[in-house]
Amino acid sequence: MLTPEEEVLGWILLWDGESLTNSWVDVSAGSSNFTARGWCATNDALVASAGADAIRTADSFTDFDFKVDYRLSPGASGQILYFHNAETNVDTSIAYPLTPLPPDAKDPLAWQTVRIVARRKPVTHWLDGKIVDRKKRDDAELQGRIVLEPDGGTVEFRNLKIRTFGKW
């Protein structure tokens, strides 16, 4: 759910917490259906089991603020790709690796929060409220889809939301 403040700021949910067909499709070019293997919706989380296919947003984005909570089972990994263009053979994706919690974490299955802010050329990666990386895209008009690409064990996602920025 969005908070009233998030609604005022223009945030939209990229997943309704229940349906596997709401806003996400197979990563393959031309796909408009959710037939990806290894995904289920449970306990308000979008869950990818070991060997799950990658999925992507149905819509493309240029300038955006994207947030998602995730957690990894032991041995699992994955990444979030953005500016993915399934319609061409040119890979314009930028990757945000999903990192496990440190071994000394109090709760090894705690949720972590990713935030990716792409506004004009700069892109900022956040993890749990702290900046972890800054990138610069060559083309401020670059657009594409957001991809969830699990690898290994179980990867869970929740609170998937985005807000877009207008043209400058």
Residue 147: what pLDDT? 93
| Structural domain includes residue 106 | no
Q: How many domains does the chain have?
A: 1
Domain boundaries, position 72: 4-25+35-101+113-164
CATH number of the domain residue 123 falls in: 2.60.120.560
Q: What is the pTM of this model?
A: 0.90
Distance CA 69, CA 62 (A): 21
Q: Is 114 helix (H, G, I), strand (E, B) or coil?
A: strand
Q: Say how many residues make up the chain.
A: 168
| Structural domain includes residue 30 | no
| Structural domain includes residue 108 | no
> Would you write out the chain's pLDDT as a tens digit for each of its 168 residues?
899 999 999 999 998 888 776 678 777 655 556 667 888 888 889 999 988 988 988 888 999 999 999 999 988 999 999 998 877 666 788 999 998 888 888 887 899 999 999 998 899 999 999 999 999 888 888 889 999 999 988 999 999 999 999 754
Residue 34: what pLDDT? 65
| Structural domain includes residue 107 | no
| Structural domain includes residue 144 | yes
| Structural domain includes residue 136 | yes
Exposed e or buried b per residue across 107-121, where buried means at least 16 C-beta atoms within 10 angstroms of its C-beta: eeeebbebbbbbeee
